[in-house]
Amino acid sequence: MTESHHAVFGHPIAHSLSPRIHARFGRQTGVALRFEAIDATPDTFASALDAFAAAGGSGASVTLPLKEAALALCADASDRARRAGAVNTLVRDGGHWRGDNTDGVGLVRDLTGRHGLDLRQRRTLLLGAGGAAHGVAPALIDAGIGDLFIVNRTSARADALVDKLGLPKHVHSRYLEDLAALGEFDLVINATSAARAPAAGEAGSGLPTLPTSLVGARTACVDLSYGEVAIPFLAWARAAGAHHAIDGVGMLVEQAAEAFKLWHGIRPYTDEAYAALRERDALLVTGD
């Protein structure tokens, strides 16, 4: 059986659970694959991806901070990737890369299927306006959420995402200092990398101060990250009395399953991989 070669690119990347998830998917489906983690910065990503392709790489996942850069390296991209302006899944196609974005569908599958949330008409706050936020915002809108407020440290980036989504009556850009006046939300999503330890040369600013007035008795708070990076936001959510405090492990597994289907033509079951990750590392347990 021929072994396919895959990788996840990001910076930093040593913490990534993707190799473990895809190895489990491969065993479940009988697909022979090799999956590695490759550290690449925005400056080195293009050359690292070229080297991976030259070594026989046939598909790749892309994580922070490379999702927007990945789109520029694609000869073709799916509608959802172009709509998001970011790529998290690369498929080798005739000597070129074809891009897709499975983040949004992965998040919605996790929230509605695994956690049983009805997203329709939920007043939603999205913290962050980078590649992760671009990836999930269109899918949240398609899932029927109510008004969406986007807040980012750099307001111009939030404005750009609002403009890209093209729904001025339902999608709004706000400043961090506006948070206390925004009232209660049904859904609060942290799409920032603020709590991630900064790499060499990066400035670390930490999770912004979030008022507890954002959270009500039925609010679901979701961090798109997982493990130690997600702890500050989830701790704030629990202290504020959120009904759900959910990390990004479920989304990670669901978006990985979508990527696996793009590469191999079969979508694996995800409950087994999700349960295995929860069982292995107590830090990953949510307060849902």
**255 labeled part of a ligand binding site:** yes
Catalytic residue among 67, 164, 169, 261: 67
Q: Number of C-alpha atoms within 13 angstroms, CB side, residue 171?
A: 20
**152 labeled part of a ligand binding site:** yes
Q: Where are the extended beta strands (E) located within the chain?
A: 4-10, 33-39, 57-62, 76-77, 89-93, 96-100, 124-127, 148-151, 171-174, 185-190, 215-223, 244-246
**153 labeled part of a ligand binding site:** yes
Strand order in the sheet with 171-174: 171-174, 148-151, 124-127, 185-190, 215-223, 244-246
**63 labeled part of a ligand binding site:** yes
**17 labeled part of a ligand binding site:** yes
Q: Which residue, chain included where needed, has tokens 């330890």? A: 197
**144 labeled part of a ligand binding site:** no
Does the annotation mark 164 as catalytic? no
Where does 65-117 have alpha helices with state H?
A: 67-72, 79-84, 103-109
Alpha-carbon distances of 279 from 120, 223, 248, 286, rounded to whole Å: 31, 19, 15, 12
**130 labeled part of a ligand binding site:** yes
**224 labeled part of a ligand binding site:** yes
**207 labeled part of a ligand binding site:** no
**157 labeled part of a ligand binding site:** yes
What is the distance between the alpha carbons of residues 131 and 68, in angstroms, rounded to a whole number?
6
**119 labeled part of a ligand binding site:** no
What is the distance between the alpha carbons of residues 49 and 38, in angstroms, rounded to a whole number?
9
What are the residue numbers of the active site? 67
Binding residues for NADP(+): 79, 128-132, 152-157, 224, 248
Binding residues: 16-18, 63, 79, 88, 103, 128-132, 152-157, 224, 226, 248, 255
Binding residues for shikimate: 16-18, 63, 88, 103, 226, 255
